[in-house]
Amino acid sequence: MAKKEATAATTGDGDNKAAPLPLFYSNPVPLDGKKHADLGLKKNFGLSFCDHVNAVPINMIEMPQISHYYPIAFSPDNNATPVALLGVRDNENLFVDGSGEWVEDAYVPAYIRRYPFIFSEIAGTDQLTLCVDMNDQIVDNKSEQKFFEAEGKPALLAQNALEFCKSYHAAAQQTLAFSKALASSGLLVERQAEINIGGGKRINFSGFRIVDEQKLATLPEKDFLEWRKNGWLPFLYAHLFSGAQWSRLTKMLSRRIELEEKTGTKQ
């Protein structure tokens, strides 16, 4: 794998304009000391930008922490991307309230914490550049949290964002290898969850895959040893342990539905 150099200077996780934009991003632009000298990040802009999603991608290295708060599943496509399930109804994140605040003491996935910054790869090179989503709700020219200092050097905000994106990118590359192996392992099976929310009401949640415990238990020894050699077994087990968090989602949904019925409005 070619080493990629990162600079604080373009869109998303790829530079192909025909490709769909990454989740949450509407207009990622390369940070430029001249063009964006007066721009900065609005203070405490909140997490309302993710209140409409019920799942977000996660990196393999996060899975042990994620397993304490969210069920972990894998996308149904050939990528087998690991995701944290944040809700069971369409367009609903149960971990964000109406004020854009995350549930207290719950781990916030790195994909969300990275926003509005993201790396772009310049086609034909090994260079990664730092972008910011030019969203009027997030970025303006009145903020004290500037991207650049007076002389055009990256401010601490941009420097920290660059380092975070470096770490995220490295973890994402590790996750790609893990997901590729999992997708071809035969361990994944499609599942559908039936959520009982009380009052005789149920919600069917589908479109995800999980590791089949029986298939894992009968994995050929040479394959099991290969997974152990790669250091991937703890992350498989974290995924399996995360199944206990379905009850958390069910309780959170029941409380939200109860509040909606009392107030007559969707939360």
What is residue 215's predicted lDDT score, i.e. its pLDDT? 95
Which of the 8 DSSP states describes residue 216?
Answer: H
Q: Which residue is listed with tokens 């034909």?
A: 124
Chain-centroid distance of CA 204 in Å reads 23
160-179 pLDDT tens trace:
999 999 999 999 999 999 99
Helix or strand holding residue 250 (H, E): helix 246-263
| Backbone φ, ψ for residue 181 (5° rounding) | -65, -40
pLDDT at 17: 44
- 186-236 pLDDT, tens per residue? 999 998 887 776 666 778 888 899 999 999 999 999 999 999 999 999 999
Contacts of residue 9, defined as CB under 8 A and 6 or more positions apart, other chains included, come to 30, 31, 32, 129, 130
Residues of the chain scoring pLDDT < 50? 1-18
Spatial CA neighbour of 82 closest among 103, 61, 106: 61
257: CB partners within 8 A, 6+ apart: 197, 198
**Structure confidence at residue 186 (pLDDT):** 93
Residue 17 C-alpha from the chain's centroid: 21
- 182: nearest Cα among 74, 90, 267, 261: 74
Find out whether 117 and 161 touch, Cβ atoms under 8 Å: yes
253 and 89 Cβ atoms separated by less than 8 Å: yes
Helix or strand or coil: residue 133? strand
